Structure 1
Amino acid sequence: MSETTKHSSHPRISTRLKRANGHLAAVIDMIAEGRPCSEIAQQLHAVEKAVTNAKRALIHDHIDHCLEPGPNGEIVDSKSFKDITRYL
């Protein structure tokens, strides 16, 4: 985490995460209101999916823009590739 990098996709990913954060806050309110568990579970599933999709977009963007292919198309920095793909 020593590098500071901003990609063109970061604002879109940040927007997705802010939306998921709002949904998560709504889920917390639903619990406090005593809403049915099936409704809460459905909303939690949506939050989980939103975060997973944001993570996937970030990782794919990193692979596309931060990992340089070698002369034969192979990945030159396999450690960096392995480091990022463990989060998939």
Structure 2
Amino acid sequence: MSDQAHASIARRLKRASGHLDTIIKMIEEGRPCPQIAQQLQAVEGAIESAKKMLIHDHLTHSLERSFGAGSPRSRAALKDFKLIAKYL
């Protein structure tokens, strides 16, 4: 994994962690359940986004190492895979 991707994922997870601490306080304060559920959904989304970024980055680098410079056909296949992997 690239250092830049690693740092970006770590930042996302740190924000999610801070947000989760706030949600715990909301629960302890007895805030309304719909507000808490909305915030939990946001944290889930942030974690899901970080997971996708991690997986996409790993697959991209693994495939690039496997294909190397490769033929035009293998480069096209790698490009197609990267495009479709965004939807995972």
Fold-level match, TM-score > 0.5? yes
Match of 1:20 in 2: 16
2:26 maps to amino acid: M
**Stretches of structure 2 lacking an aligned partner (at least 5 in a row):** 79-84
Deviations along 1:34-78, whole A, 9 cap, x unmatched?
Answer: 000000000000000000000000111011112323755268xxx
For the residue of structure 2 that corresponds to 1:65, the secondary structure is helix
**Stretches of structure 1 lacking an aligned partner (at least 5 in a row):** 76-84
Number of residue pairs the alignment of both structures matches = 73
The CA RMSD over aligned residues, in Å, is 2.1
Q: So what's the TM-score if we normalise by structure 2? A: 0.71
Structure of greater Rg: 2
Structure 2 Cα separation of the partners of residues 8 and 60 of structure 1? 14
* CA apart distance, 1:33: 0.3
Which deviates more, 5-14 or 18-27? 5-14
Q: So what's the TM-score if we normalise by structure 1? A: 0.71
Give the one of 45, 62, 68 matched to 2:41.
45
Structure 2 Cα separation of the partners of residues 7 and 69 of structure 1? 22
Between Structure 1 and Structure 2, the one with more helix by share is: 2
Greater relative contact order structure (CA < 8 Å, 6+ sep): 2
Structure 1 Cα separation of the partners of residues 30 and 17 of structure 2? 20
